[in-house]
Copies of this chain bind each other. A is one copy, B any other.
Amino acid sequence: MSSSARPEPADAPAKRTGRRPGTPDTRGEILDAARQLLAERSPSGVTVRAVAARAGVDPALVHHYFGTKRSLFTAALELPFDPRMIVRSILDGPVAERGERMTRTFFGVWEDPSGREPFLALLRSALSAGSGAGLLAGFIQQVMLPLAEHEAGLDGRRVELAVSHLVGIAVLRYLIAVEPLASTPVEELVAAVAPSVQRYLAP
């Protein structure tokens, strides 16, 4: 494991800032550094500065490639969609139907194999040895919560309680496939679960 304040590589040419300039691989190296740090520490400890230090680049280069820290996290998580689109689709529309939209969106992602795989991997890695804990925690704390709090003024605790219900359903239905939940039609589940989720998402 390299130290978090990696010095100038020995074979690099002399440079003004003492850090490597951007190369075709720099973007990928920044993503790798972000994933490493997310697996090692709590999300709040994964700063742009820390990611830049781990990747051996200037923090400005991280901003150049990814804009915000949130975008960097989203890219590092390799989700097959933009979580901002998801959150926006839940927040837009009548407040009274937020729970149903979030529940439908959740099942839409999980019932689609291309959506299910990255989330199953996220869940498995998070829950195995704790080494992936930062990835799932990062997704929730750095991507979902800021969007829900800043764009809808929702309480972080309540958003996480709504998320927890859906994470638990993912565990029982998709990961360990416990019956009768695993074979219950989606429409029945949406009808049963949406009101519970709505309780947390209403102001």
Contacts and interface: CB of A to CB of B under 8 A. Distances in A.
Interface string A147-187: 00000000011101101111111011101111111001000
Contacts of A178: 136-137, 140-141, 160
B171 A161 contact: no
Query: What is the oligomeric copy number?
Result: 2
A192 interface: yes
Interface stretch (A60-68, A70-78, A127-135): A127-135
A118 interface: no
A176 B128 contact: no
Interface string A178-203: 11110010001100110110011000
B163 A172 contact: yes
16 contacts: A124-B127, A124-B129, A127-B175, A133-B175, A133-B177, A136-B176, A137-B177, A156-B179, A157-B188, A160-B172, A161-B181, A161-B192, A164-B181, A192-B200, A195-B199, A196-B196
Interface of A: 42, 44, 123-124, 126-130, 133-134, 136-137, 140-141, 156-158, 160-161, 163-169, 171-173, 175-181, 184, 188-189, 192-193, 195-196, 199-200
